[in-house]
Each structure stands twice: as structure tokens, then as C-alpha cells.
Amino acid sequence: MTFVVGENCIKCKHTDCVEVCPVDCFYEGPNMLVIHPDECIDCALCEPECPAEAIFSEDELPDNQTQFLELNSELAETWPNITEKQDAPEDAEEWDGKPDKFALLER
């Protein structure tokens, strides 16, 4: 099993989660993070660290976000690894909780 970064990370991209990950399985895109499912050890340390509540265990992924399991896997193969917390985008709070952000994903 793995953890999955979901839609609410788009344009929020808080990085609190990356510092607690013992296996460094987070990867950074232009406006979102993803988790490499083959590297995640299902420790659950990242989930409570996400201020945007955008991280889910695979079996608790909302039905309307199932495409994010495959998306995390795909993008983790091309995006660079991230292991240290960075400042969130200046407008992250404005985007937190907004619906239908999938079209805003930058690859």
C-alpha cells in the first residue's frame, strides 16, 4: 500500500510532509508534489503534516480522486526528488480547498 497526494495539493504545494518522510519518496513538480508508490513504506508520517489535507492512504483515496494514484506514479518517474521543506507559494492559502483544480496541474 502507498500514500497518495491528491488534488488539493495543486497550487498549494506545502512541503511540510517531505521532511518527515524516512524514505524520501516525494517528488516536486511546478505546482504540486507526488509520492512514488514503489518507494513509500506506508508509514503514515506525512499525512498529518499536510496543512492542505491533500495526502491520503491508497485505501482512503476519495472516489473522485482515484486518478491521482496513477498520476503520482507517473509523475514521480520524471519529477525531481525533494527532501527538504521549502516555502509554500505565496497564494497557497487562497487555493486551499478550492474544487476542480486538476486542470491547473502543471507537468
Percent of the chain with pLDDT over 90: 99
The pLDDT tens digits for 77-90 are 999 999 999 999 99
Per-10-residue mean pLDDT, the chain, length 107: 97 97 98 98 98 97 97 98 97 97 97
106: alpha, beta or left? (left if phi > 0; alpha if psi -120 to 50): beta
Does some domain include residue 73?
yes
Give the torsion sign (CA, 62, 8, 75, 21): negative
Assigned C-alpha cell, 38 = 514503489
Does some domain include residue 97?
no
What is residue 107's predicted lDDT score, i.e. its pLDDT?
94
Does some domain include residue 45?
yes
In contact, 61 and 6? CB cutoff 8 Å: yes
Does some domain include residue 36?
yes
Q: Which domain holds residue 59?
A: 3-83
Q: In the predicted model, what is the mean pLDDT of the chain?
A: 97
CA distance 64 to 81: 27
Does some domain include residue 99?
no
CA distance 44 to 48: 8
What is residue 3's predicted lDDT score, i.e. its pLDDT?
98
9: CATH: 3.30.70.20
Q: Provide the domain count of the chain.
A: 1
Does some domain include residue 92?
no
Does some domain include residue 91?
no
